[in-house]
Amino acid sequence: MMTLREAITDAIRKKVAVGHFNISNLEGFWAVFRAAQKLGVPVIIGASEGERDFIGVKQVAALVKSVREEFNYPVYLNADHTYSFEKVKEAIDAGFDAVIYDGAKLSLEENTAATKKCVEYARQCGRDVLVEAELGFIGQSSKILDAVPEGVGLSGDALTKPEVAAKFVKETGIDLFAPSVGNFHGMVKDSGAVKKIDDVRVSEIFKATEVPLVLHGGSGTSDEEFLAAIKSGIAIVHINTELRVAYRKGLTLSLQEMPDEIAPYKYLKGALLAMQKVVEEKLKLFNNL
């Protein structure tokens, strides 16, 4: 079975992207895994600091490992948006395949130093753990927003500069890089406020850094914007908010349809299937299926 590094390299060769989907519970995990298994494509499970606190760091690592071994399937685990070296170390020690150190709010010098420390620890852990970092502000909340947050999107003042990104990647030694190219976390209530991705900037950053690029804040992005970004060098796409919306809608519908049901495994099935549908749609798009 291919490693995560190999799966990403293969995606770049095929000009497709590996889907990255965050989970908060067991329903989310099975929704993502079953969708990927149905389509026969590799997939990354993401768990942020808050999600890891809820699920359990060692527990989610054990879950992914057990399913990967049982089904001999390329499903991987990433410690999404991690804000301290201590939390990065915790995820690596627990067995995560990849970690993201998020120092985007720090100065360039502070971000570089902290990221480099994370990379050094990953390199001596005895496994091939990928380390990702980011430059440029894309917000932090995976939720429904009233409006586009100030400072993000194409009108923001923190878009990643290719030359700065190249220097950052070289000095830190990271494996993956997350730029600010018009993307931002969360979704806007206004259906007309579709996210716009600067695919030219994506291409320039990919050429300058020569490492796989990761698009965060994918929820609410049009198919056309996704395809242009992937063609320009995006190798991994993150989806979270859309799954949360699907979960809530699916659960609400289930409770309405079976108001007297008290067995969680019965009324939670609607939430699982709603998330699985979203994951399938995104994986088909990202993999040209």
Q: Residue 262 above 90 pLDDT?
A: yes
Q: Residue 153 above 70 pLDDT?
A: no
Residue 136: predicted pLDDT: 84
Domain spans of the chain, in order of start: 4-286
Residue 125: predicted pLDDT: 97
Residue 151: predicted pLDDT: 56
Beta-ladder partners of 187: 144
Residue 127: predicted pLDDT: 97
Supply angle C-alpha 53, 56, 62, rounded to 5: 150
Q: Residue 137 above 60 pLDDT?
A: yes
Residue 147: predicted pLDDT: 60
Cα gap 102→104, rounded to integer Å: 6
Q: Residue 265 above 60 pLDDT?
A: yes
Q: How many residues does the chain have?
A: 289
Distances (CA, A) of 154 to 105, 107, 138, 141, 225: 18, 21, 10, 18, 13
Residue 144: predicted pLDDT: 63
SS3 265: helix
DSSP string, 268-284: THHHHHHHHHHHHHHHH
- Name the least confident of 59-63, 152-156, 227-231: 152-156
Q: Residue 247 above 60 pLDDT?
A: yes
Q: Residue 11 above 90 pLDDT?
A: yes
DSSP string, 130-170: EEEEEES---S--SEESSPPTT-STTSS-PPPHHHHHHHHH
| Phi, psi for residue 183 in degrees, rounded to 5 | -80, 155
Selected from 3.30.2350.10, 3.20.20.70, 2.60.40.10, 3.40.640.10, the CATH number assigned to the domain covering 4-286 reads: 3.20.20.70
Catalytic (active-site) positions: 80
Beta-ladder partners of 178: 134
Residue 158: predicted pLDDT: 79
Residue 104: predicted pLDDT: 87
Q: Residue 18 above 90 pLDDT?
A: yes
Q: Which of 28-32, 101-105, 214-218 has the highest mean pLDDT?
A: 28-32
pLDDT tens digit string along 75-127? 999 999 999 999 999 999 999 999 999 998 899 999 999 999 999 999 999 99
- Name the least confident of 67-76, 192-201, 219-228: 192-201
Average pLDDT, the chain: 92
